[in-house]
Amino acid sequence: MTPTNRKGLVMEDHNDNFILIPAKSGGGALVRRSQIAGGRANGGEGAILYLASGPSVYTTATIPQLAEYLGARKAEIA
């Protein structure tokens, strides 16, 4: 892990940091990466993220946007 300097604070980079997911109800939801259990598209209106702790987050972000941000690889299916 390499430290990152943000506004004078040294923070460790790691894969379980919090991410801000834009919420349909406005503002957003602060979610820890390790708590994301899955997700699915929600019509043309964004996506639903399922969290390991139980609640779901309805977001305006699309599955491809979330996948790119989380570093997921696209499956090549022949």
How many C-beta atoms surround the C-beta of residue 49 within 10 A? 23
65 lies in some domain: yes
Predicted confidence at residue 7, as pLDDT, reads 45
46 lies in some domain: yes
Number of domains in the chain: 1
13 lies in some domain: no
Rounded Cα distance, 2 and 18, in Å: 17
Residue 61 near residue 67, CB atoms below 8 Å? no
Predicted confidence at residue 61, as pLDDT, reads 92
Predicted confidence at residue 48, as pLDDT, reads 94
How many C-beta atoms surround the C-beta of residue 12 within 10 A? 9
57 lies in some domain: yes
Predicted confidence at residue 15, as pLDDT, reads 55
61 lies in some domain: yes
78 lies in some domain: yes
9 lies in some domain: no
**Residue 63 belongs to domain spanning:** 23-78
Residues of the chain with pLDDT under 70: 1-16
Predicted confidence at residue 54, as pLDDT, reads 85
Tokens of 31: 């979610």
Give ∠ CA 68-69-74 in degrees, rounded to 5: 25
